[in-house]
């Protein structure tokens, strides 16, 4: 189990690093999808099959396909390869930020929180209860956000199609 965790964590870190370093936008999206699939695998290791399925359906299925469609509507997919950033201190800054983050997070991870234990001891792990806890207080706001995202997507498609007609 721990070997699978380390393999999936390495894949997730690799996917995240590739997503921010690749210049080709399509390759970056595929590395984000690799990251999302590794996170779904980590949820499976935690025996949270429902959340893993939601991760696959929502993030890999919906968000990934949405990003690919948005990229297909753009004209410039490749980044400018002639411009290079010459920074010598990026590795040291990355190491220091990682050390700072680990220094802040490790004490919280290593010590059990009593209020979290009491909340989890009363929790019924059914799909119905999980849905009620996650969606009941936020039902209206999630609906409004879904409508706004749909309107934004329709507006992007209309703007891209009118821009392509103007160039022809």
- What CATH architecture does domain 1-72 belong to? Up-down Bundle (1.20)
CB contact set of 12 (below 8 Å; sequence gap of 6+): 35, 38, 39, 42
* Residue 148 pLDDT: 87
Domain boundaries, the chain: 1-72, 89-168
pTM here?
0.54
Give CA separation, 54 vs 30, 111, 113, 130, in Å.
19, 29, 27, 12
Query: Residue 7 corresponds to which tokens in the numbers above?
Result: 């393999």
Sequential pLDDT tens for the chain (168 residues): 688 999 999 999 999 999 888 877 888 888 999 999 999 999 999 888 888 888 888 888 888 788 877 777 776 666 555 666 566 676 778 788 888 888 887 777 766 666 555 655 666 677 777 777 777 777 778 788 888 888 888 888 877 777 666 665
């Amino acid at each position: 189990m721990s070997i699978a965790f380390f393999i999936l964590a390495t894949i997730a870190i690799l996917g995240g690093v590739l997503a921010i370093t690749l210049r080709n936008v399509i390759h970056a999206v595929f590395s984000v999808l690799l990251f999302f699939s590794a996170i779904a695998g980590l949820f499976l290791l935690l025996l949270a099959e429902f959340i893993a399925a939601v991760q696959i359906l929502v993030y890999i299925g919906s968000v990934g396909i949405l990003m690919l469609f948005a990229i297909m509507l753009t004209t410039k997919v490749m980044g400018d390869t002639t411009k290079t950033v010459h920074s010598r201190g990026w590795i040291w800054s990355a190491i220091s930020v990682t050390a700072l983050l680990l220094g802040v997070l490790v004490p919280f991870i290593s010590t059990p929180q009593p209020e979290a234990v009491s909340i989890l001891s009363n929790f019924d792990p059914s799909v119905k209860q999980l849905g009620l806890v996650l969606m009941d207080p936020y039902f209206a706001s999630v609906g409004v956000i879904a409508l706004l995202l749909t309107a934004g997507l329709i507006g992007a498609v209309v703007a891209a199609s009118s821009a392509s007609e103007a160039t022809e």
